[in-house]
């Protein structure tokens, strides 16, 4: 209480008593508080000699029967209440919340009972922690009721105190009430009464033991419990429910039980029981889907059930309401909340967010939570939330509190961002696990929804773009970890679902394209194709058909259509795109030239290697004219032209072209540039294809040393070079060494790229192939069978690599002694390949060749001859009569014709083949002697009795 000023002052008529800023008068639990000036009224018989001036005397606050006064008090009479006699046991202080409708005992409840009661050792303090709405209070109430109603000598209670612990004053009030009722505490002094109660709980020698349970429900701040923790007692137990996860709460041996969401079964049981008898005959699938929409959060399910009962809405209709982005979560709440709930779902976390924003680093918790609200609820990489765009967003949107934050805000550091995540974790608004690099931050989908609902349209769009920028900034350039790449894709999918048009304003965000390319690079070519099909439609809708971003989406769609096996469809798509780019951008625009390059590549993949080479030769002239001879795209076009010349049958010419390109790469880029090293690898490949397998292996061995020096041993390019070196060693005759090299390489690839990466699966395929080539056909078949399961799981049954694995498995089964089974497997595979890749695709023709071969090996030589004759015609029409594959089909046709008993016919076909090869390849080509030997064999067979078989074949 403020006192009057008694200092000496001049004796003037204007002097007086001045009282100001005396503060608030706050009293609780029957107490009394007075502030201001206490004394006789001015101008009364007992008035002071001078006037009294009062200002800013504060507020009078009284609760629970207390008296408070502030200002001027002439006379004050206080009547003390006498202490009451202690209430006999058993005694309950406070009211246990009633059981919720359809309450069910959960796994967390069983853990609570086991943890508290079992083991033979008293567990004194327990904490039920978890996000708001998971049912902590209901679990605590169930435990308290069970303990209170336990009439056994060992398990019963003498005293139960239920405390609404959301503020320190409420804790003191309840403790004081218990002190008054149980131990004659002074009702006029709540703080002392509370301390008296805590002292009374402390066990005392010779006193009758008191079995007590204190429940502190919804502790909002650990500081509220300073000096108010119940004492340790062999007869007492304390149970705390809180959203907080501070170390201060879990200290001194207090055990923590994390309360999570309903399981799928618990959620279904709850909804079924809640809606039973209210006219809702919903299927289990529909209820389960609703539970998933609400993240199986008990509070959300309770309010949803109340809404359905009150409105008569169907579950399907309610789910549509939830799915509508234009509908705020508050609009899906019932008019009257069930189970004595205080807040609708939309407001369940607002106080926690407000409190989080006051903790250090002040003002960052809310914008950080807002950023996470647009990403994947199941896991966000921490690097995304500490990236430069994320930090810039946090700096710009930091909550301002107080004059000290006026002016330009300080830049937020990565450490500040991590601390903000820790704050949100402490208040159970997110789960933050620093050790989980891929999915370090998890946040419930309804917290995300309510957070987004608070944003203005401008804030919404700005935050969505910031989240997209953060994903792009953190996305690894080289995806060495497949799980991490999948996490980034999942976050982009979630962001796209929340952001709406924001990712298309002012243009289509790069993250939309990065996601599709990531799918393709991971080997999921079908998913990549479907992604870009959708992106093409959305960019066209938002930006128009002639917008550059729409063209880019169409470009990627065509590319992945080709990778998925639809080379003809991709070629048509690139042809249409080329026409549109010429119309809109002009014939010499870089993007137009790029489209021409893609179109040429697809022609080659569709089987027209010569046409691809011709198109790339024309493109090269234009690249040189528009960009110059040393431009990166010009050099790339030269490399692609060399590749397709080799595929068209001129391996030596391809090697010569790459040798020239290598000189220019070294001159323009330097010897250690990645593109220079790639060109060296391609040159080695085509030297091997030209017949110098040993030279290819030597060149790759030299390249490997440089890859390791420049890029490191774990770089993807280094691993690719190791794989190519192993392959060419096998082609040079060291098949066993190749198999050993692939076996040694595999664990490195798994460690660097992950077990499901495309290069990992390719390494397994190469290892199986080499084992089969080394003579272990059965082991190779087993390895391909295992690989097939994984490729189906990772890539899907129609992915080109999956189909290739099926072909390899069938081939190895034939080599292992089951030619009929191999033929059957190829016959079963062929229609799938035709459906996926088309009838004229090179791989389709290869499957036809394998099917013909194994039919012959299984005894149907005539059928094999007919099939090879048809294949020869098809390859000659698609690839040209001078293509190596056409020559191979031609020779096989001759072989199986002879095996079918027509040696004379075999002679005729072989003579035609030999004449053509000498004319095209020259008499010195290494394959010509093989054909001469075959011709001699069939001439000899034709002179003998028909029906004898030979084994030589080209």
Q: What is the pLDDT of residues 588-620, one digit of tens each?
A: 999 999 999 999 988 887 778 888 999 999 999
Which range among 69-73, 663-667, 683-687 shows the weakest confidence by mean pLDDT?
Answer: 69-73
pLDDT confidence of residue 15: 47
458, pLDDT greater than 70: yes
Number of Cα atoms under 13 Å in the Cβ half of residue 219: 31
pLDDT at 687 over 60: yes
Query: What is the CB neighbour count within 10 angstroms for residue 552?
Result: 20
Q: For residues 76 and 99, what is the distance between their CA atoms, to the nearest angstrom?
A: 47
Beta-bridged to residue 649, according to DSSP, are none
Range in 370-379, 398-407, 697-706 with the lowest mean pLDDT: 398-407
pLDDT at 13 over 50: no
- pLDDT > 70? residue 242: yes
Mean pLDDT for the chain overall: 88
Do you find a cis peptide bond into 502, omega within 30 degrees of 0? no
Give the C-alpha distances (Å, rounded to integers) separating 343 from 133, 163, 210, 340, 779: 10, 19, 37, 9, 65
Over residues 901-920, mean pLDDT: 93
Contact call for residues 518 and 557 (beta carbons, < 8 A): no
pLDDT reported for residue 952 = 37
Looking at residue 130, what is its pLDDT? 94
The lowest-confidence range among 215-224, 521-530, 756-765, 896-905 is 521-530
The pLDDT of residue 234 = 87
pLDDT in tens, 94-110: 999 999 888 888 877 88
31 vs 354, residue with greater confidence:
354
The pLDDT value recorded for residue 119 is: 47
The helix/strand/coil state of 428 is coil
Q: Is residue 828 over pLDDT 90?
A: yes
The full DSSP string for 241-272 is: EES---TTTS-TT-EEEE--PPPHHHHHHHHH
pLDDT at 14 over 90: no
pLDDT band at 483, cuts 50/70/90? confident
Residue 481 has pLDDT above 80, yes or no: no
Phi/psi zone of residue 56: left (φ > 0), alpha (ψ -120 to 50 degrees), beta?
A: left
- pLDDT tier at 206 (50, 70, 90 boundaries)? confident
Judge whether residue 40 has pLDDT over 60.
no
| pLDDT (0 to 100) of residue 715 | 82
User: Within a 10 A sphere around the Cβ of 342, how many other Cβ atoms?
Assistant: 7
Name residue, tokens 């769609």: 557
Confidence class for position 497, pLDDT limits 50, 70, 90: very high
What's the pLDDT score for residue 403?
54
pLDDT at 115: 54
Q: What is the pTM of this model?
A: 0.74
Question: So what's the pLDDT on residue 8?
Answer: 39
Mean pLDDT of the 642-654 span: 92
Q: Is residue 121's pLDDT more than 70?
A: no
End-to-end alpha carbon distance in the chain: 112
Residue whose C-alpha is closest to residue 746's, from 777, 722, 712, 771: 722
Asked whether residue 953 carries a pLDDT value surpassing 50, the answer given is no
Q: What is the pLDDT of residue 441?
A: 96
Measured at the CA of 44, the angle between CA 39 and CA 45, to 5 degrees, comes to 100
- DSSP string across 24-72: -EEE-TT-EEEEEEESPPTTSTT--SS-EEEE----EEE-TT-EEEEEE
List the one residue out of 103, 180, 87 whose CA is nearest residue 145: 103
Q: What pLDDT score does 16 carry?
A: 56
Whether the pLDDT of residue 47 is over 50: the answer is no
pLDDT at 63 over 70: no
Q: How confident is the model at residue 21 (pLDDT cuts 50, 70, 90)?
A: low
pLDDT of residue 756: 84
Given pLDDT bands bounded at 50, 70 and 90, which one contains residue 951? very low
In this predicted structure, what is the pLDDT of residue 477?
A: 84
Sign of CA dihedral 544, 545, 546, 552: positive
Does residue 529 carry a pLDDT above 80?
Answer: yes
Q: What local confidence, expressed as pLDDT, does residue 281 receive?
A: 81
DSSP 145-198: HHHHT--STTT--SEEEEEE-SSHHHHHHHHHHHHHHHH---TT-HHHHHHHHH
Residue 28 predicted with pLDDT over 90: no
Residue 4 pLDDT > 80: no
The residue with greater pLDDT, 255 or 223, is 223
User: What residues are paired with 54 via a beta bridge?
Assistant: 19
- Is 411 within 8 Å of 395 (Cβ atoms)? yes
Q: How confident is the model at residue 58 (pLDDT cuts 50, 70, 90)?
A: low
Residue 686 confidence (pLDDT) above 80: yes
Of the ranges 265-269, 378-382, 478-482, 594-598, which one carries the lowest mean pLDDT score? 478-482
Whether residue 872 is predicted with pLDDT greater than 80 in this model: the reply is: yes
Q: Which pair of structure tokens corresponds to residue 803? A: 């189909």
Contact 785, 806 (CB under 8 A): no
Q: What is the pLDDT of residue 3?
A: 41
For residue 62, is pLDDT > 70? no
The Cα–Cα gap between 841 and 834 comes to 8
Poorest-pLDDT segment among 107-121, 377-391, 656-670:
107-121
- Work out the average pLDDT over 944-948: 55
Which of 428, 427, 558, 449 is CA-nearest to residue 494? 449
Please determine, for residue 520, whether its predicted confidence score (pLDDT) is greater than 70: yes
- pLDDT class for 402, splitting at 50, 70, 90? low
Q: Please tell me which residue, 170 or 75, carries the higher pLDDT value.
A: 170
Q: Is the pLDDT of residue 2 over 50?
A: no
User: Cα separation of 118 and 126, whole Å?
Assistant: 13
């Amino acid at each position: 209480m403020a006192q009057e000023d008694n200092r000496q002052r001049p004796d003037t008529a204007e002097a007086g008593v001045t009282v100001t800023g005396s503060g608030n008068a706050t009293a609780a639990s029957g107490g009394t508080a007075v502030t201001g000036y206490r004394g006789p009224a001015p101008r009364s018989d007992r008035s002071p000699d001078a006037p009294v001036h009062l200002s800013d005397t504060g507020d009078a606050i009284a609760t629970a029967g207390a008296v408070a006064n502030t200002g001027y008090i002439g006379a004050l009479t206080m009547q003390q209440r006498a202490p009451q006699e202690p209430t006999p046991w058993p005694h309950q202080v406070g009211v246990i919340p009633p059981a919720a409708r359809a309450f069910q005992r959960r796994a967390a409840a069983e853990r609570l009972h086991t943890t508290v009661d079992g083991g033979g050792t008293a567990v004194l303090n327990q904490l039920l922690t978890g996000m708001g709405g998971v049912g902590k209070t209901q679990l605590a109430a169930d435990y308290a009721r069970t303990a209170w109603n336990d009439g056994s000598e060992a398990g019963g209670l003498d005293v139960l105190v239920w405390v609404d612990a959301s503020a320190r004053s409420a804790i003191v009030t309840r403790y004081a009430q218990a002190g008054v009722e149980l131990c004659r505490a002074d009702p006029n002094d709540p703080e002392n009464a509370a301390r008296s109660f805590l002292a009374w709980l402390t066990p005392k020698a010779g006193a009758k033991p008191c079995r007590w349970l204190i429940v502190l429900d919804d502790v909002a701040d650990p500081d509220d419990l300073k000096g108010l923790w119940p004492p340790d007692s062999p007869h007492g137990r304390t149970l705390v429910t809180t959203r907080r996860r501070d170390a201060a709460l879990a200290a001194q041996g207090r055990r923590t039980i994390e309360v999570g969401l309903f399981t799928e079964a618990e959620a279904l049981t709850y909804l079924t029981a809640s809606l039973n008898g209210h006219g809702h005959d919903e299927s289990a699938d529909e209820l389960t889907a609703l539970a998933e929409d609400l993240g199986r959060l008990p509070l959300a399910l309770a309010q949803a059930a109340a809404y359905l009962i009150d409105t008569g809405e169907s579950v399907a209709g309610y789910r549509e309401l939830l799915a509508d982005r234009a509908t705020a979560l508050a609009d899906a709440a019932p008019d009257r909340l069930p189970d004595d709930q205080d807040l609708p779902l939309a407001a369940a976390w607002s106080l926690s967010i407000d409190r989080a924003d006051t903790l250090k680093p002040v003002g960052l918790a809310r914008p950080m939570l807002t950023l996470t609200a647009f990403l994947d609820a199941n896991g966000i990489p921490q690097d995304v939330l500490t990236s430069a765009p994320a930090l810039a967003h946090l700096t710009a949107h930091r909550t301002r509190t107080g004059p000290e934050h006026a002016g330009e805000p300080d830049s937020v550091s990565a450490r500040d961002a991590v601390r903000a995540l820790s704050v949100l974790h402490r208040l159970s608004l997110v789960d933050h696990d620093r050790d989980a690099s891929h999915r370090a931050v998890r946040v419930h989908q309804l917290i995300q929804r309510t957070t987004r609902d608070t944003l203005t349209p401008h804030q919404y769009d700005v935050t969505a773009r910031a989240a997209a920028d953060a994903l792009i900034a953190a996305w690894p350039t080289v995806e060495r970890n497949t799980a991490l790449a999948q996490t980034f894709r999942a976050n982009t999918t979630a962001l796209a679902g929340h952001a709406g048009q924001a990712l298309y304003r002012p243009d289509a965000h790069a993250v939309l394209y990065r996601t599709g390319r990531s799918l393709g690079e991971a080997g999921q070519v079908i998913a990549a194709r479907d992604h870009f099909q959708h992106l093409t439609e959305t960019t066209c809708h938002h930006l128009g058909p002639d917008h550059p971003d729409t063209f880019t989406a169409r470009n990627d769609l065509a590319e992945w259509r080709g990778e998925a096996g639809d080379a003809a469809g991709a070629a048509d798509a690139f042809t249409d795109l080329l026409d549109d780019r010429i119309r809109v951008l002009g014939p010499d625009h870089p993007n137009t030239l790029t489209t021409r390059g893609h179109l040429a590549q697809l022609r080659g993949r569709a089987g027209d290697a010569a046409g691809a080479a011709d198109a790339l030769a024309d493109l090269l002239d234009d690249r040189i004219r528009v960009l110059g001879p040393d431009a990166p795209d010009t050099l790339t076009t030269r490399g692609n032209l060399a590749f397709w010349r080799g595929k068209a049958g001129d391996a030596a010419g391809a090697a010569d072209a790459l040798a020239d390109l290598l000189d220019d790469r070294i001159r323009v880029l330097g010897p250690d540039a990645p593109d220079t090293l790639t060109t060296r690898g391609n040159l080695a490949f085509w030297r091997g294809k030209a017949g110098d397998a040993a030279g290819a292996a030597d060149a790759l061995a030299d390249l490997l040393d440089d890859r390791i020096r420049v890029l490191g041993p774990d770089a993807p390019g280094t691993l690719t070079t190791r794989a190519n070196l192993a392959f060419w060693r096998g082609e040079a005759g060291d098949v066993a060494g190749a198999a050993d090299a692939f076996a040694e390489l595999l664990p490195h690839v798994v460690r660097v790229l992950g077990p499901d990466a495309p290069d990992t699966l390719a390494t397994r395929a190469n290892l199986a192939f080499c084992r089969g080539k080394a003579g272990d056909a059965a082991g190779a078949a087993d390895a391909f069978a295992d690989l097939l399961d994984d490729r189906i799981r990772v890539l899907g049954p129609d992915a080109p690599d999956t189909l290739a694995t099926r072909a390899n498995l069938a081939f190895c089964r034939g080599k292992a002694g089951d030619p009929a089974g191999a033929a059957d497997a190829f016959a079963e595979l062929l229609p799938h390949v035709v459906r996926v890749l088309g009838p004229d695709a090179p791989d389709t023709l290869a499957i036809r060749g394998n099917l013909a071969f194994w039919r012959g090996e299984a005894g149907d030589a005539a059928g094999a001859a007919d099939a090879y004759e048809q294949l020869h015609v098809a390859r000659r029409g698609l690839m040209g009569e001078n293509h190596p594959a056409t020559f191979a089909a031609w020779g096989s046709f001759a072989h199986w014709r002879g095996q079918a008993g027509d040696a004379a016919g075999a002679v005729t076909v072989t003579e035609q083949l030999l004449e053509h090869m000498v004319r095209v390849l020259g008499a010195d080509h290494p394959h010509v002697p093989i054909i001469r030997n075959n011709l001699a064999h069939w001439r000899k067979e034709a002179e003998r009795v028909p029906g004898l078989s030979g084994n030589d074949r080209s």
